[in-house]
């Protein structure tokens, strides 16, 4: 099942993600080729059910526990939450995930639901409580019946069950903002602001991987033009551009094959250089990127 999916095979080393991958394969009979496609299906799965019964296909929009929200509403709220959590620099982190207090989470959901559904704040807060209970992992339930995209941390904290979902949903929100406002500069601005921020690395990778060819080429060119400090020694811009290509090479190959060849040539030159000059760790990173 995983033989032809190198990126997904790496994810399967994590027991939680392996469980999700197995369920996706069970329901769809195949796995997507790209990471962002896998996460898209995983989010849908986590927003509906982890119930280990193939004959059940629940829909959160039909769930009587929610009075105002449908499945599409919940999906949009998760994208908004992923972005909001990612910009909370002062919040508690656990394994890279932002942990939010339950009262603060319900208050945030309440404001979002009020604006989304145009209802009274008290109605929105009540719906927010129902939503948090519905989408959170029920720790007391048997393992095979646990469901949820959020998990409780301590007495009152909540976080995404894995940081990759926070990152993926954050990327989706940025993409939505750019499409909704018909302004690609929104994506370029996020690249400029967070290019070498380790907390945002997967966000940017997943964002660029799903862009249309011409937009992907512009994004990668933006990375190469970033002119990061000590670039001539550290080559961070080049390596991140190469990582974006290894994530999904097709868009750049279609839109600007000459740029793709330029990046590959620069990597080969760097790989052939004296490892004492570029540093052993950097040398190994170049070889890893080329092998991907």
C-alpha to C-alpha distance for 169 and 160, rounded to whole angstroms: 10
pLDDT of residue 126: 97
**Which residue would you say has higher pLDDT here, 146 or 267?**
267
What is the DSSP code (8-state) at residue 159?
E
Q: Which residue has the higher pLDDT, 36 or 139?
A: 36
**Residue 286 confidence class, pLDDT cut points 50, 70, 90:** low
CA distance 235 to 222: 15
- Tell me the pLDDT band of 5, cut-offs 50, 70 and 90: low
Question: Which pTM value belongs to this model?
Answer: 0.87
How far, CA to CA in Å, does 85 sit from each of 88, 112, 286?
5, 14, 32
pLDDT at 62 over 70: no
pLDDT at 191: 98
Residue-level pLDDT at 268:
83
Q: Name the pLDDT band for 61 (thresholds 50, 70, 90).
A: very low
Spell out the residues 6+ positions from residue 159 whose beta carbon is closer than 8 angstroms to its own: 85, 94, 97, 98, 99, 100, 150, 151, 153, 166
For 236-246, the pLDDT digits (tens) are: 999 999 999 98
Mean pLDDT of the chain: 84
CA–CA separation, 6 and 9 (whole Å): 5
Please give the residue that has the higher pLDDT: either 8 or 100.
Answer: 100
pLDDT, residue 60, reads 52
Q: How confident is the model at residue 58 (pLDDT cuts 50, 70, 90)?
A: very low
Mean pLDDT value of segment 68-88: 95
Q: What is the pLDDT of residue 88?
A: 86
Q: Which of 47-51, 98-102, 112-116 has the lowest mean pLDDT?
A: 47-51
Query: Residues in the chain, how many?
Result: 292
Whether the pLDDT of residue 249 is over 60: the answer is: yes
CA 254 to each of CA 13, 129, 250: distance values in angstroms, whole numbers, following the listed order:
32, 46, 6
pLDDT per position as a tens digit, 122-135: 999 999 999 999 89
Element (H, E) at 278: helix 275-278
Q: Which of 155-159, 187-191, 269-273 has the lowest mean pLDDT?
A: 269-273
Averaged pLDDT for residues 263-291: 66
**Residue 56 binned pLDDT confidence (cut-offs 50, 70, 90):** very low
pLDDT at 113: 98
């Amino acid at each position: 099942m995983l033989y032809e999916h190198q990126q997904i095979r790496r994810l399967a080393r994590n027991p939680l993600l392996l469980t999700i991958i197995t369920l996706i394969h069970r329901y769809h009979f195949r796995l997507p080729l790209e990471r962002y496609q896998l996460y898209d299906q995983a989010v849908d799965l986590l927003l509906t059910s982890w119930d280990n019964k193939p004959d059940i296909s629940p829909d959160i929009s039909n769930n009587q526990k929610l009075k105002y929200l449908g499945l599409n509403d919940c999906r949009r709220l998760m994208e908004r939450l992923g972005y909001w959590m990612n910009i909370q620099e002062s919040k508690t982190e656990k394994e890279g995930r932002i942990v939010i207090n339950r009262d603060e989470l319900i208050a945030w959901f309440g404001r979002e639901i009020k604006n989304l559904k145009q209802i009274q704040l008290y109605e929105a807060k009540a719906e927010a409580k129902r939503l948090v209970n519905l989408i959170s992992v029920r720790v007391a339930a048997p393992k095979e019946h646990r469901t949820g995209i959020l998990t409780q941390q301590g007495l009152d904290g909540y976080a995404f069950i894995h940081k990759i979902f926070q990152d993926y949903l954050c990327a989706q929100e940025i993409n939505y903002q750019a499409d909704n406002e018909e302004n690609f500069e929104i994506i370029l601005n996020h690249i400029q602001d967070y290019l070498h921020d380790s907390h945002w690395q997967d966000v940017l990778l997943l964002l660029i991987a799903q862009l249309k060819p011409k937009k992907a080429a512009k994004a990668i060119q933006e990375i190469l033009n970033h002119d990061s400090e000590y670039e001539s020694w550290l080559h961070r811009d080049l390596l991140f551009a190469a990582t974006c290509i290894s994530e999904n090479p097709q868009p750049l190959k279609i839109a600007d094959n000459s740029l793709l060849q330029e990046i590959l040539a620069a990597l080969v030159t760097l790989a052939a250089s004296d490892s004492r000059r570029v540093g052993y760790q950097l040398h190994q990173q170049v070889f890893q990127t080329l092998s991907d």
